[in-house]
Amino acid sequence: MNYVSTRGGASLGQFCDVLLSGLAPDGGLAMPERIVQISHEDLAHWRTLSYADLAYEVMRPYISDIPAEDLRAIVHKTYREDVFHSADIAPLTRLGEDELYLLELSNGPSLAFKDMAMQFLGHAFEYVLEQRKQTINILGATSGDTGSAAEYAMIGKDNVRVFMLSPHGRMSAFQQAQMFSIDEANIHNIALRGVFDDCQDLVKAVNADAAFKREHHIGAVNSINWARVLAQAVYYFKAYLALDIAIGEPVDVCVPSGNFGNIFAGYLAKQMGLPLGKLLVATNENDVLHEFFTHGVYRIRPSADVAKTSSPSMDIGKASNFERYLYLISGNNGAQVAQWWQALERQGEIDLRGTPFWQAVQTSDFASGRSTHAQRLTTIRETYARYDRLIDPHTADGVFVAQQHRANIITTHPMICLETALPVKFTDTVIEAVGEAPPRPARFANIEDAPRHVDVLDNDLDALKAYIKQRV
């Protein structure tokens, strides 16, 4: 399987090439040359598989340059009960008597859904770098959970350094402590004076400097990395197959969304043939995606207009993975995507209203909703009272939007809400909602009091480059 850029151009190589490269040379994102199709017979057979074996079946067609037995070993090394604290890896829990389900994705090392893909990336990086006798310097940006998931996955990995940008003062105390308490020679935390989009822009700017990227072996673990999207697609298959329904019956999903990577993985699974119905995008007050799916205009927000909310991992003014979605609805037209991004840079928006592309959006089964601070507090409180289940504020955004959708549209389809993190990562908000602190795994006792290892930088590309050069 070869990969191409969302903005056109020559082949980017095979899986291992795009795993290590991050952004394409033209600034686009890697996409497979075709979407693999699976049948209902495949799904019926996969229903009996372990999570690791399911991951192998879903990902194998896209990873043709790793020998089959080596890939099988990687996924079995990744998806283990002792890592994810559950034999199911991603358990599906029914909430009460409703056809409402919670897909538990936060039982891994960092207590967030990012572990589901990041643990795979860690082992895949280690394997490929050893095979190629190379090193890599991972440059990433996080709004909260990607950072700790990436760093936990890369601790102790040979030939890997991590440089992780986060918005200074904009993560929860627990999220900051998870990252900044790590004292490892290959982990470098950078708190940037700015918002997440500033961090993301710097990552893209470094990647756009081909000479610097080549000289310093810069790679990526953000959701711009295709391997993360591919690994995330697996748990949509797992969730569907865990339901007691006939193969082919549609199932709706609702996903808290900021950077669009998590729900794009669901769209990928749907394009492969998984019988998903509606794909609900749940946003917080930073509702760029909700605005698009409601009105047809993708309008990015400047840093100053990105609100600081109680679901901070979704405080994002532009969604990086949205480009992959536009690539697919354009009919894999890289030239069209490049034209859209030129318009985005000039005007700050892409307007699809009145075009055939907007019709393609409207028939792609996406819908959206928006949640506010008051609504997520109420959802946390009511979910705890009704189902005896504490959820974090991002998951609450998803549950709220899912419940609104079910209330307004008559449907008998099961609805799966994707959990994003354990509530302990957002203790202050949970206490505000229910009056008590969420439980905390023993391994994270008093983590906020641990010594911190972080450098604060201005939002300056040259300063970031100098920082990296001094440490590689």
Q: What is the pLDDT of residue 421?
A: 95
The CA-atom distances, in angstroms, between 15 and each of 1, 3, 18, 205 are 7, 7, 5, 23
Distance between CA atoms of residues 452 and 455, nearest Å? 10
Give 51's pLDDT tier (boundaries 50, 70, 90).
Answer: very high
Crossing angle of helices 51-59 and 68-78, in 10° steps, is 140
Q: Which residue of the set 77, 114, 204, 238 is catalytic?
A: 114
Strands 218-219, 251-256: pairing is unpaired
Q: Parallel, antiparallel, or unpaired: how do β-strands 297-299 and 349-351 relate? A: antiparallel
**Per-residue confidence (pLDDT) for residue 207, from 0 to 100:** 85
The model's pLDDT over 354-405, given as tens digits with 9 standing for 90+, comes to 999 999 999 999 999 999 999 999 999 999 999 999 999 999 999 999 999 9
pLDDT at res. 412: 78
Task: Classify residue 356: in a domain, yes or no.
Answer: yes
**202 domain-assigned:** no
Collapsing DSSP to helix, strand or coil, 455 comes out as strand
Q: In this model, does residue 9 exceed pLDDT 80?
A: no
Average pLDDT value over all residues in the chain? 94
Q: Can you give the pLDDT at residue 194? A: 93
Beta carbons within 8 Å of 102's beta carbon, 6+ residues apart: 92, 93, 95, 389, 391, 395, 399, 416, 417, 419
Q: Is the pLDDT of residue 58 over 90?
A: yes
- Residue 146 has what pLDDT? 83
Q: Would residue 424 count as lying in a domain?
A: yes
320 has pLDDT over 90: no
**Of 35, 52, 8, 464, the residue nearest 226 (C-alpha):** 35
Q: Where is pLDDT greater, at 51 or 174? A: 51
Helix axes 373-387, 427-434, angle to 10 degrees: 70
- Is the residue at 174 inside a domain? no
- Identify whether 376 is part of a domain: yes
pLDDT the model gives residue 23: 81
Q: Which amino acid is at 50?
A: S
CATH number of the CATH domain containing 261: 3.40.50.1100
Question: What's the pLDDT band for 21 if we cut at 50, 70, 90?
Answer: confident
- Give the range among 123-127, 205-209, 283-287 with minimum mean pLDDT: 205-209
Answer whether 18's CB lies under 8 Å from 12's CB: yes
HSE-CB at 91 with a 13 A cutoff on CA atoms is 11
Is residue 354 assigned to a domain? yes
Share of the chain above pLDDT 70, in %: 100
Q: Is 238 designated active site?
A: no
Give the pLDDT band of residue 219 (cuts 50, 70, 90). Answer: confident
pLDDT above 80 (res 87): yes
**Where in the sequence is the domain holding 294, given as residue range(s)?**
92-110+226-434
Cα angle vertex 146, ends 342, 442, to 5°?
A: 170
The reported pTM is 0.92
Say if residue 308's pLDDT is above 90: yes
Q: What is the mean pLDDT of residues 431-439?
A: 96
Q: Is 72 a domain residue?
A: no
Q: What is the pLDDT of residues 133-167, one digit of tens each?
A: 999 999 999 877 788 889 999 998 888 999 999 99
Residue at 175 is within a domain = no
- Is residue 68 pLDDT above 90, yes or no? yes
The number of distinct structural domains making up the chain is 1
